[in-house]
């Protein structure tokens, strides 16, 4: 059996969290290497793209969150076998990455610059992507994004919508998701109560 080590920041959320949950849901043991921002700064140059998460499989370094999710999802039955359903799954995950990129460009800004940048997001890209994801959820049947069951796409959206609703993003209203894509709020609550998600967070308590 392979040895897995997932290195990501020491908080619940972000790009690494869906991979952690997928490992747990798949019943695959892995080293959950949680780093402080200071620790990451000291080892940043040793990562391929100067970023996290990084997954080591038997000592071989792999990057890119969606690639990790597909790999671990296939091992654990959380990624579709059907080609079209796999395409749907990938489409959702790529859309979330694009959305995260737009938000990420505002991280580190301060004062008026941050307020103005976030206002543009709230008026533009955020509702565009949220409505688009809501439409993809409807295409999938309204409960899951692909394959009529829980997949890595659901876990990735679950983390993203949780972040947007948390109120932790200054100048982004915590009720934005509810206002523009209420189906995603219902989806978040559904995934939150899924046994694999419940047991994952119970193990972290």
Q: List the chain pLDDT tens, one digit each, 205 residues.
A: 799 999 999 999 999 999 999 999 999 999 999 999 999 999 898 889 999 999 999 999 999 999 999 999 999 999 999 999 999 999 999 999 999 999 999 999 999 999 999 999 999 999 999 999 999 999 999 999 999 999 999 999 999 999 999 999 999 999 999 999 999 999 999 999 999 999 999 998 8
99 CB-near residues (< 8 Å, 6+ apart)? 125, 126, 129, 130, 133, 160
Domain identity same for 188 and 87: yes
Measure the CA–CA gap between 5 and 55, rounded to whole angstroms.
Answer: 6
59: DSSP letter? T
DSSP lists the bridge partners of residue 54 as 7
Only one residue has tokens 């959320």, namely: 13
Domain identity same for 71 and 91: no
pLDDT at 81: 98
pLDDT at 4: 98
| Domain presence at residue 203 | no
| Domain presence at residue 190 | yes
DSSP lists the bridge partners of residue 34 as 8
173 CB-near residues (< 8 Å, 6+ apart)? 122, 179
What's the CATH code of the domain at 49? 3.40.30.10
Range of the domain at 66: 4-77
Question: Could you tell me which of 118, 160, 119, 120 has the C-alpha nearest to residue 137?
Answer: 160
Domain identity same for 94 and 175: yes
pLDDT at 93: 98
Domain identity same for 88 and 34: no
pLDDT at 5: 98
Domain identity same for 58 and 89: no
Domain identity same for 88 and 187: yes
- Report the number of distinct structural domains present in the chain: 2
């Amino acid at each position: 059996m392979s040895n897995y080590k997932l290195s990501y920041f020491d908080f619940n959320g972000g790009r690494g969290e869906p991979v952690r949950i997928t490992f747990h849901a798949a019943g695959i043991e892995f080293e959950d290497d949680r780093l402080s921002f200071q620790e990451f700064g000291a080892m940043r140059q040793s990562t391929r793209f100067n970023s996290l998460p990084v997954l080591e499989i038997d000592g071989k370094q792999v990057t890119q969150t969606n690639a990790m999710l597909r790999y671990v999802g296939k091992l654990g039955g959380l990624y579709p076998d059907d080609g079209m359903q796999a395409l749907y799954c990938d489409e959702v995950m790529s859309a979330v990455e694009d959305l995260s990129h737009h938000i990420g460009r505002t991280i580190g800004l301060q004062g008026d610059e941050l307020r103005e940048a976030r206002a543009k997001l709230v008026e533009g890209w955020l509702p565009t992507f949220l409505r688009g994801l809501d439409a993809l959820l409807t295409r999938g049947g309204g409960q899951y994004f692909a394959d009529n069951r829980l997949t890595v796409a659901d876990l990735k959206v679950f983390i993203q919508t949780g972040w947007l609703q948390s109120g932790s993003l200054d100048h982004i209203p915590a009720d934005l998701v509810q206002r523009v894509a209420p189906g995603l709020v219902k989806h978040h609550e559904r995934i939150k109560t899924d046994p694999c998600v419940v047991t994952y967070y119970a193990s972290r308590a």
